[in-house]
Structure 1
Amino acid sequence: MSATSGTGSSAGNLRQSVTERLALGGLLKRLESPVAPYYLLLGSTAMLVLFGLVMVLSASSVTSYQSSGSSYTVFKSQAMYAVLGLVVAVAASRVPVRIWKLLALPAFIGAVLLEMLVFSPLGRTVQGNRNWIGMGGFTMQPSEAGKVALVLVAAMVLTRKRKVLGEWRHVLIPLVPMIGLLLGLVLLGHDLGTTMVLASIAGAVLFVAGVRMRFFAAFGAVAAAVALAFVATNSNRTSRLDSWLGTCIDAQTEGCYQKVHGLYAMADGGWWGVGLGASREKWSWLPEAHNDFIFAIIGEELGLPGTLAVVALYVALGYACYRLIVGSKDFFVRLATAGIMAWILVQAMINIGSVTGLLPIIGVPLPLVSSGGSALVTTLLALGVLISFARNEPECKKALAARPSAIKRTLAVLPGRR
């Protein structure tokens, strides 16, 4: 009797093992499909935006009510920008790659001119950073447009110089002065976080282009020196560094206070969270709860599963970008994809690292999730560009063309149709 039971148990375990292997094999096969980057970009983008809208509503409801008398003011603004960003992304996804190459230089010139307006009477200072322009009730952050422009112009210049990138002068001229101009304008506005993201975009594009590592050593040394100088000459950044090092003299200072309450939120959530909408820290305790520190509210309300779900969506987006980089034969597509990938993933890592205490508080939003109209629209524009790249890859284009449309599939199953 026991032998029979043992045999049955072994057979059951074997069937389960075979089933699991087949399921894993099927998943890997789908991830290797030529349409995988296209659908991963669509799926991860849509889920991050929807998740972000839910969390912005939850995180901003209290402070929004205090300032405007309605718990939905910030959410409505974010939803409006999400719709606008969706329209922009759909339009961008239909633009051929050759058009993006033509738009690169005009986009860069436009971004530089917009960044210069920050220092005009239209410029506005927010929390010590002069990085906004406004007219009436309309405001925007020009450096967000600068990210898209830098991706396109760097990819375009390096594509044209592909055969001579082994020579220093061709790497330096004209790209490095162009990068320096944009980064310098953003630094003049004291926005160190955005400057770091822009530098990561430039570094990623140069790395994928095959520039020699000696260039990165010099580039990294200059970047580190500039960052240290900006920290040393600003008391707010110094307090944030003290907070990260655990040497706060006064826990009520901005950097220490925000870090402490961010960690309180994560700790309060524990493994499973206190429930959607039930955050305590959003009750005017945690500054920027719906913006830079929205990840802390996610951890408090949704616990570890919520935070891991967000990280998993960024990993899926990163994998789609990686597939485009290694699979595309178009050098411009590979470089531009690397720049956008670095932009979104580095910014996400900086934000999550700041919230969890792994990095000093730098002050950049969580892409697609944090509140902010300029950031949301420009990030969706960049992802629309990636979707354009993915759907125009020859194998993906062929596979998508071979599939019947949703309308045809629906009509095929209607009663009375054969």
Structure 2
Amino acid sequence: MGGLAALRGLLARPLASYYLLISSAGLLLVIGLTMVFSATSVKAYAEEGTAFAALTKQAIFAVIGIVAFWACQRLPARTFRVLGGPVLGLSVVLLLLLNLLLAYGSLFDTAPKIGPLEANLLWLYLGPIQLQPSELAKFGMVLWGADVIARKGAKLGWWKELATPLFPVVGLLFVLVGYNDLGTMLCLLALVIGLLWAAGVRKRVFAVLSVLGLAGVALLVAVASLGAGSGEKGAKNYRLARLTYFINRPPPDECGDPCYQADQARYAIDLGGWFGTGLGQSRTKWNWLPAAGNDFIFAVIAEELGVVGCVVVLVLFAVLAYTGLRIARRVEDPFRRLAAAAVTTWLVSQAVINIGGVVGLLPITGLPLPFISDGGSALVVTLAAVGMLASFARAEPDAARALHARPPARWVRLVWAPLPPLPGRRRRPATPPADRGSVPRARARREDDDETAPRGARGTRARAGSASERRR
């Protein structure tokens, strides 16, 4: 009981959401850098002559992401609302460019490259710069979608307000992203559901969305059966093979390449046991698990740190989910509430899809594990989204009052973050003057008064007295 009371006391503090968010995201980032080094050291040493090659690259992106976090936590909500349209528009342009290059390479049976632009399945290369436009599309969808829904407000009960312009843009993103990346399409679907859930949309809308989502998945499977999304020549139908083998899994000796990484991941989990083989002692990273540093890094965590390490990672993601929903519940601004719920749904659903694919509960989709997997674009965008959540956490009414009551030093406000705005006082709406209304309404009110009048002798005498007074 004493521990629960202490926990309630900590959670009751004004800045509890802010510190929970910083601590959980920071610990996940540290675990990610450690496991990226452990999972990629052998391959990096064999290919580049140094075991620190992948770690150095990931650390550089982590520094860029921390800068993005710092910048986003300083911004007010109105700036995020303004940035929503440009960020989403830029991501759509990059996705169009990526798909056009891939289509060009498929039509002319050549490399998907025009000048300095080159495409490779999910990545777009602009000279030395490597981008993953789908990661930017998630953040842009959060900002733009939250702004649009917050502006519509009570009108969301009408299908017309939901259909324009939210659904067309979501459909366009599904087509552009889902062509090559089923996992990101599912993540975007979860993000949109989180937005609509936070907005209080009716349940029948979610039913329609579920039907449309299943229809979209079926369409993508049909397109995959024609060879779309294969990525490499001669490696067609890999998406269809993953889904087929997940539903009806053949014996290991008959599965072949589509099951190879999934089987190796389960072998790694089995080797780890309760406490793991020890940090850096993984066997599967010796080229047995090709994607050990990104998509299947959770398998390396399970092998080296065991069940205990996996539980620590899951608990940190649970704390992150709780904190995000806590922020969404406590803020007063509708945009902040919607954006916080959308970011939380995005990060948690992506973690669930990745971990579920590694342990065999879900089909493999290729989504990275947030904060932990090797990947620059995903890490920078994720830390920027967490920075926006930190800005919202400081804008909670209790947190804002506490910061204004005991403000930090001036240099701290200049370097780290300015003071959030104080929450406005809720004014009671002025009572409008009574409207006498039309004659039928007045007659209805008199009838209601007669029905609610007291019964019995006293009521009869009262009505008689009033009638006699009227006759006078």
2:242 corresponds in structure 1 to: 240
Question: Quick one: which amino acid aligns to residue 178 of structure 2?
Answer: L
Counterpart CA distance in 1 for 2:159 and 2:207 is 14
Say whether 1:372 aligns with 2:372.
no
Q: Choose 225-234 or 150-159, whichever is displaced more.
A: 225-234
Indicate if the aligned counterparts of 1:292 and 1:351 stay in contact, CA closer than 8 A.
Answer: yes
Question: Quick one: which amino acid aligns to residue 177 of structure 2?
Answer: V
1:413 corresponds in structure 2 to: none
Question: Quick one: which amino acid aligns to residue 231 of structure 1?
Answer: V
Question: Quick one: which amino acid aligns to residue 124 of structure 1?
Answer: A
**1:45-84 correspondence to structure 2 within 5 Å:** 45-84=25-64
Cα deviation 1:87-115 (Å, max 9, x = unaligned) = 01001000011111121112211221122
2:130 corresponds in structure 1 to: 139
1:350 corresponds in structure 2 to: 353
Counterpart CA distance in 1 for 2:372 and 2:18 is 21
Cα deviation 1:226-276 (Å, max 9, x = unaligned) = 213323434212322243235225555233111111000000000100000
Q: Choose 239-248 or 59-68, whichever is displaced more.
A: 239-248
Indicate if the aligned counterparts of 2:76 and 2:391 stay in contact, CA closer than 8 A.
Answer: yes
**1:188-337 correspondence to structure 2 within 5 Å:** 188=179, 190-232=180-222, 233-234=224-225, 235-245=237-247, 247-248=249-250, 250-251=253-254, 253-337=256-340
Pick aligned residue for 1:181 from 172, 191, 215: 172
Pick aligned residue for 1:92 from 66, 72, 78: 72
Cα deviation 1:20-78 (Å, max 9, x = unaligned) = x1222011221233311111111111111111000000000111122212111111100
Cα deviation 1:277-332 (Å, max 9, x = unaligned) = 00000010012001000000000000011101101111111111111121111111
2:21 corresponds in structure 1 to: 41
Q: Choose 60-69 or 166-175, whichever is displaced more.
A: 60-69
**1:392-403 correspondence to structure 2 within 5 Å:** 392-403=395-406
The DSSP-based 3-state class of the residue aligned with 2:278 is: coil
TM-score where L is the length of structure 1? 0.88
Say whether 1:110 aligns with 2:90.
yes
Indicate if the aligned counterparts of 1:93 and 1:386 stay in contact, CA closer than 8 A.
Answer: yes
Question: Quick one: which amino acid aligns to residue 239 of structure 1?
Answer: A
Counterpart CA distance in 2 for 1:273 and 1:401 is 48
2:119 corresponds in structure 1 to: 124
Cα deviation 1:386-410 (Å, max 9, x = unaligned) = 001111223112223445759999x
Indicate if the aligned counterparts of 1:117 and 1:123 stay in contact, CA closer than 8 A.
Answer: no
Could you say if the C-alpha distance between residues 218 and 387 of structure 1 is closer, same or farther in structure 2, counting changes exceeding 3 Å?
A: same
Counterpart CA distance in 2 for 1:205 and 1:52 is 28
Counterpart CA distance in 2 for 1:246 and 1:403 is 61
Counterpart CA distance in 1 for 2:306 and 2:26 is 22
Counterpart CA distance in 2 for 1:408 and 1:223 is 50
Indicate if the aligned counterparts of 1:239 and 1:253 stay in contact, CA closer than 8 A.
Answer: no
Counterpart CA distance in 1 for 2:410 and 2:166 is 47
Pick aligned residue for 2:7 from 9, 13, 27: 27
Q: Which has the higher contact order (CA 8 A, sep 6+)?
A: 1
The runs of at least 4 consecutive aligned structure 1 residues that moved more than 6 Å come to: 406-409
TM-score where L is the length of structure 2? 0.78
The DSSP-based 3-state class of the residue aligned with 1:279 is: coil
Indicate if the aligned counterparts of 2:264 and 2:288 stay in contact, CA closer than 8 A.
Answer: yes
2:366 corresponds in structure 1 to: 363
The DSSP-based 3-state class of the residue aligned with 1:82 is: helix
1:13 corresponds in structure 2 to: none
Counterpart CA distance in 2 for 1:255 and 1:402 is 59
The DSSP-based 3-state class of the residue aligned with 1:65 is: helix
Counterpart CA distance in 2 for 1:280 and 1:39 is 37
Indicate if the aligned counterparts of 2:178 and 2:185 stay in contact, CA closer than 8 A.
Answer: yes
Question: Quick one: which amino acid aligns to residue 282 of structure 1?
Answer: K
Could you say if the C-alpha distance between residues 246 and 258 of structure 1 is closer, same or farther in structure 2, counting changes exceeding 3 Å?
A: farther
Q: Choose 319-328 or 87-96, whichever is displaced more.
A: 319-328
Counterpart CA distance in 2 for 1:137 and 1:256 is 33
Could you say if the C-alpha distance between residues 172 and 396 of structure 1 is closer, same or farther in structure 2, counting changes exceeding 3 Å?
A: same
Could you say if the C-alpha distance between residues 183 and 123 of structure 1 is closer, same or farther in structure 2, counting changes exceeding 3 Å?
A: farther
Question: Of the two, which has the highest radius of gyration?
Answer: 2
Question: Quick one: which amino acid aligns to residue 301 of structure 2?
Answer: I
* Identity in percent: 43
What is the deviation of 1:123? 4.0
Residue segments in structure 1 that go unaligned for 5+ positions in a row? 1-20, 410-418
